Amino acid sequence: MKAEIKRFCIWDDHSQQFYPEDPEYFFAMVDMDIGPADSEGGDIFTLMVCTPRWFEENIMTSRPDEPTHETVRKNIFGRHYLFVHTYDEDEIEKEVQWIVDRVKGKDWGEIAPRLSRYFGWEYEDYNQYGGLPASF
């Protein structure tokens, strides 16, 4: 079985279509529906896209004017991030497509968890036998 991107949108932090002021300094969310190639529907996947400079200045440093930002940290987990040097929507979509094209499995139950290694998946922590797992 093969996966297919059904919908691909890049949004800003206000859920509006994204157009960066500076293509070499930005952060955006990619929202996608990806599903089996032989069906119409798909599951929701997300990806954060930013430049290394934006990440360093907005995540790695203290921002007293932004209480949601953390203070300086030596180590940061970066799951579900794509770092790019400049904004190019076509290139970002090509990178996502490259991953989707290479992830295969016998059914959607094998493919979706593999995609979730790269993209946030709406059912990533869902346990089919009892809902969401207990906190660890």
pLDDT digits (tens, 9 = 90+) for 5-25: 999 999 877 777 889 999 999
In order of 15, 27, 62, 75, 81, the CA distances from 59 in angstroms are 20, 11, 8, 11, 13
Alpha helices (H) in the chain, listed in sequence order: 52-58, 89-102, 108-115
Write the pLDDT tens digit of every residue in 79-121: 899 999 999 999 999 999 999 999 999 999 999 999 999 999 9
Which tokens belong to 123? 């059912």
Please determine, for residue 62, whether its predicted confidence score (pLDDT) is greater than 60. Answer: no
C-alpha closest to that of 43 among 131, 114, 136: 114
